[in-house]
Amino acid sequence: MEGNCFNQRVFLVTLLLLIVATLVEGQGTRVGFYSSSCPQVESIVKSVVQSHFKSDPTVAPGLVRMHFHDCFVQGCDGSILIDGSNTEKTAPPNQLLRGYEVIDDAKTQLESACPGVVSCADILALAARDSVVVTGGATWVVPTGRRDGTVSQASDASNLPSFRDTVDVQKQKFSAKGLNTQDLVTLVGGHTIGTTACQFFSYRLYNFTSTGPDPSIDQSFVSQLQALCPQNGDGSRRIGLDTGSANRFDNSFFANLRDGKGILESDQRLWTDDSTKTFVQRFLGIRGLLGLTFSVEFGKSMVKMSNIEVKTGTAGEIRKVCSKVN
């Protein structure tokens, strides 16, 4: 009997150590992390996002994209926010990110209310959620407790998902971060809000094949896009990623993929590849398939993404200023 009790104690201690190890390795976020140390954190971030959104609606899709780019490089540790000549924000995929001033504003207010408590990484995670809500999307509960990274290198951003990626490459990049094919389709659905520049898709409109434009684009839509992005025109001109609904968080993005109106090549490929097309159809409620509610699934996938390689416990730091390592 004593031997059994001893074995049970050993098992419980081993299990506890495994749980602690898991927390240290980055799964230590939890809902209400700041409930005692800074209970007003969510209301402050929400208020700041709403204020900036009123004067500049582009910050909403900007913050969602920034959170995504942060999590895919060094984990969700706010390293995208660090200034410097060779930091992540200087890498080509990150040069057009916007919304840094929102994070800085929220950090300033939080440092006044709760000095040295709330991480920049958590502010970004909360701001991304609040950005979805202000554009009409459903809310979700954001686990917090991330700490800020101290390393930010442009070279680490080279493996971010790209607008020319095949579905196989996209799946590979998402899988490497613990995200499955449904997460991929769901998170790319974040393109329901925001814009892109002509330079990232105009190659599809002219001489894409020996016979002309990308055949996956609806023929009548090609002429519309050519009018917006003429050959050898202004490559920096911004075009909505979700035609007809670029400022509303809804599932019309998937209807556009079905209709051959995806702007980025990587987006449109989600419809032409069978492994991802099924999820697009499920978001559209295609008869005979088990439906998925985009606004609900987006929150679930965002929580999964926001826990990628997070730093908790004594790892990292709590920055005083989000753009500078302490």
Hey, which residues are catalytic here?
69
Which two structure tokens, joined as six digits, stand for 272?
């032409």
The 8-class DSSP code of residue 137 comes to P
Q: What is the DSSP string of 299-316?
A: HHHHHHHTTTT-B-TTSS
The rounded distance, in Å, linking the Cα atoms of 309 and 326 is 21
The rounded distance, in Å, linking the Cα atoms of 241 and 61 is 11
Q: Report yes or no: 267 and 204 within 8 Å, Cβ to Cβ.
A: no
How crowded is the C-beta side of 50, counted as CA atoms within 13 Å?
Answer: 8
Start-to-end CA distance of the chain, whole Å, equals 55
The rounded distance, in Å, linking the Cα atoms of 32 and 39 is 8
Which residue from 315, 295, 75 is spatially nearest to 178, judged by alpha carbons? 75
Q: In a 10 Å sphere around its CB, with 0-12 CB exposed, 13-18 middle and 19+ buried, how is residue 54 labelled?
A: exposed
